[in-house]
Chains A and B, each alone.
Chain A
């Protein structure tokens, strides 16, 4: 059983910053350092939007054009934790942010956290 828990969401003003974290729960049965991880977001009432991917060792990082240059994905395998540093936040970044474990070389997301809500508002 794989369980992921996101944290760090909240309300921030436009132009502000926030850092999200994602970690396997204490009951999770997978070796975090062996898998790539994704961030995917969902604006209220809207569909899914892929945000970023990081390889198992952090050497590969890819971003959606909508966040490139503003968001940074990283991981600390010694702490079994995934991060998303979000800078220069915009109103349109308001969404539930999910972390997800990769399947099949990163092409898909097979286990997802329950998400953390980020609201960008003045």
Chain B
């Protein structure tokens, strides 16, 4: 089973700043089957990015994904007030799906 480790655990930033979130896999992720989700308190997760870098329907272009092999990054170019939330990465491999433990982006 591939383990995903996200860093940092918490990111304290101000609106307008750039956010860079990391997701590292314990082994190479097959075919870059990696996604990012956003979750706000009391809400279901929302898909942001899939296939490492493809934005899901309706996701603004300030969200971008990159990476390969074991290292992946979610970048939010300029934080909007509604972007403060918890972000999870997720991978698929060998008929198993795993999530990272999450990164909380909080207002500084």
Contacts and interface: CB of A to CB of B under 8 A. Distances in A.
Per CB-CB distance, the 5 closest pairs between chain A and chain B, nearest first, are A112-B44, A50-B97, A107-B92, A48-B99, A62-B95
A112 B102 contact: no
B96 A62 contact: yes
Interface of A: 38, 40, 47-50, 53, 62, 64-65, 98, 103-104, 106-115
Nearest to A38: B97
B44 A47 contact: no
Contact of B47 (A65, A108, A114): A108
Interface residues of B, number: 25
A40 B46 CA distance: 13
Q: What is the predominant secondary structure among interface residues of chain A facing chain B? A: strand
B56 A48 contact: no
B50 A113 contact: no
B102 A47 contact: yes
A53 B56 CA distance: 20
